[in-house]
Amino acid sequence: MQANKTLALLCTLICIPLASCSRVVAHANTSPPEGVPVHIARAVSQDVPLEIAAVGNVEAVESVEVKPRVAGQIKEVAFTEGQNVTKGQLLFTIDRDTLSRQQAQQQAELSRDIAMEQQATAIAARDAASQKQSQSEADTAVKLGELGVLSGQSVKQAVTASDTTRASLQADKSAIAAAAGAINADRARLAQTQLQLSFAQVVAPIAGRAGAAMVKAGNVIRENDTTLVTLLQLAPIRVTFGVPEQALAEVQRLSSLGPLEVEAGPGDVPLGKGRLDFIDNTVDPATGTIRLKATFPNTDGALWPGEFVNVRLRLRVDANQLVVPQSAIQQGLEGKYAWRIQASVATMVPVTVLRTYRPPPSPQAASEVAVLGSGLRPGDMIVTEGQLRLTPGARVSPIDVPSSSSPHDSLTNNTVRNGAP
C-alpha cells in the first residue's frame, strides 16, 4: 500500500513540468509568423517624356582668326587674354609711322598734280582765245584773197597760224585730262594709304571671348600672315550630336511641326535648354548616325567650346504612363515580372516593359525607372529590394512604406535610355 502511494506521487511530479511545457509550446504556436523584410514602392501613373540621349560636342557659332591687314611692328596689345570683347573693341595697335610718311608724300603729290591741272587749264583758256582770234584772221584773209587784196602766200600763212593755235588748244586739253588722271590716281593711292592707316588699329570683328595673344608688343608681322588672336562667340552657342538613323524619320516629322527642345550639360544635370535647328543631309555610314545641331542661349556661359556634354533630345511626352523603379522588374524563364504586395502577401505578376530611362538626380528619384505597358495598376505596391527571398504567397514585412504621394513626381525631365521613338 505504501509503495502505491509513492508511485502515485512520482507520477504527479513528472506531469507538472510536462503540462507547463505544453502551455509554452501552445503559446509560441499561436503568435503570428514574421514576414520577409523587403523594400517596397508604389506604381504611379503620370506623363513621361520620350527623349533620345546622346553625347555632343560644344562649338562656337562664330569663330574668327584675327589677322593683320597691314605689315608693321606691333605697338600695343590692348586687351587681356581670355577677356570677353565687344564688336569693334581695339585689340592691337600697329606702328603707323611708315604709313603716315607715305600718306604725307601722297598728299603732296596730289597737291602738285592739282596745281598742274590748274596751270594746264589756264594755258588752255589762253590758247582758246588765241585760236579764236587766229581763226577770225584766217577767215578774213581767205575772203581778202578771194578778192585779190591779199596774196596767196599771206592767206596761207593766216590759215597755218589758225591751225597751229587749234593744235595747241587740243594739246592743252590733253594736258588737262592727263592732270585729272594723275589727280585721280593720287587720290586712289591716298585713300588706300588712309585705309591701311585704319587697319593699323586691329579691332574685334565679332563679340566673343578672346583666346591667347599670338604676338606681343614689338613683334614684326606681315600682312594677312600671322594669326594675332582667335575670337569665339559664346552666346549663343551650338552643340553638335548624333542620333541613330532609325530615329531620323520621327525627328524630321516632329521638327517640321515646331522646334524640338534639347538639353545639354557635362553631367546628368542639364546646364541649358536649346532648340534643334539643323539636321544634316546624309547619314554617316560608318556609325549609322545622323548629325544634328542645337543652338543654346548660353547667357551664363555654362557651355564651353570644345567640351563634350550629355545631350537629351525631347521628341514628345507620353501622357498617363505607368512607371515603377527599374529595380522592381525581375527576369524569369517566361519573361519579366514583379512582386506585388497585397495584405502583406507577395504575388508574382508578369509585366510588359515598354522602355526604361534615368531620371535627373534628386533625393527621391529612382536611379532608373521602367515604363510598363501591362501587368500592374496605379497604386499597386511592389517590391524593389529583397526579391531573392520571396516565394508566391510569402508574407512580407515592408521596411519602408511609401506615402500616397509618388516618389516619382519629378519625372517630367527624364531621359530615354532604351526603346525606339
Instruction: Count Cβ atoms within 10 A of the Cβ of residue 214 and give its class: 0-12 exposed, 13-18 middle, 19 or more buried.
Output: middle
Length of the chain: 421
pLDDT at 145: 73
- Whether the pLDDT of residue 421 is over 50: the answer is no
In this structure, how many other beta carbons lie within 10 angstroms of the beta carbon of residue 135?
17
> Are 151 and 297 contained in the same domain?
no
Q: Are residues 388 and 240 in the same domain?
A: yes
* 59-91 pLDDT tens trace: 999 999 999 999 999 999 999 999 999 999 999
Residue 85, pLDDT score:
95
- Asked if residue 243 has pLDDT above 70, the reply is yes
- Same structural domain, 77 and 113: no
To which H or E segment does residue 53 belong?
Answer: strand 44-60
At 177-228, the pLDDT tens digits run 998 999 999 999 999 999 999 999 999 999 999 999 999 999 999 999 889 9
Range with the poorest average pLDDT among 116-120, 212-216, 228-232, 321-325: 116-120
Residue 10 lies in a domain: no
Q: Do 270 and 380 belong together in one domain?
A: yes
Tell me which residue range forms the domain holding 276. 40-58+233-399
Q: Could you tell me if 146 and 279 lie in one domain?
A: no
Q: Write out the E strands in 224-307.
A: 229-232, 237-244, 261-265, 272-284, 289-296
Residue 110 domain flag: yes
Res. 338 pLDDT band, cuts 50 70 90: very high
3-state SS, residue 77: strand
Whether 27 shows a pLDDT value over 70: the answer reads: no
Q: How many angstroms separate the CA atoms of 215 and 414, rounded? A: 48
Same-domain status, 184 and 88:
no
Nearest to 53 by CA among 233, 208, 243, 230: 243
**Quick one: pLDDT band at residue 101, thresholds 50, 70, 90?**
very high
Q: Please, which residues bridge with residue 355 across strands?
A: 371
Characterize the bridge pairing of strands 201-203 and 396-398.
unpaired
CATH assignment of the domain containing 332: 2.40.30.170
316 and 343 both lie in a single domain: yes
138 in a structural domain: yes
Average pLDDT over residues 109-124: 89
DSSP 322-336: EEEEGGG-EEETTEE
Contacts of 138 by beta carbon, 8 Å cutoff, 6+ apart? 158, 159, 161, 162
- Statement: the pTM of the whole predicted model exceeds 0.85: no
**Same domain? 293 vs 369:** yes
Distance CA 114, CA 359 (A): 80
pLDDT range class, residue 147, cuts 50, 70, 90: confident
The number of domains in the chain is: 3
Tell me which residue of 191, 199, 197, 190 sits closest to 104, measured CA to CA.
190
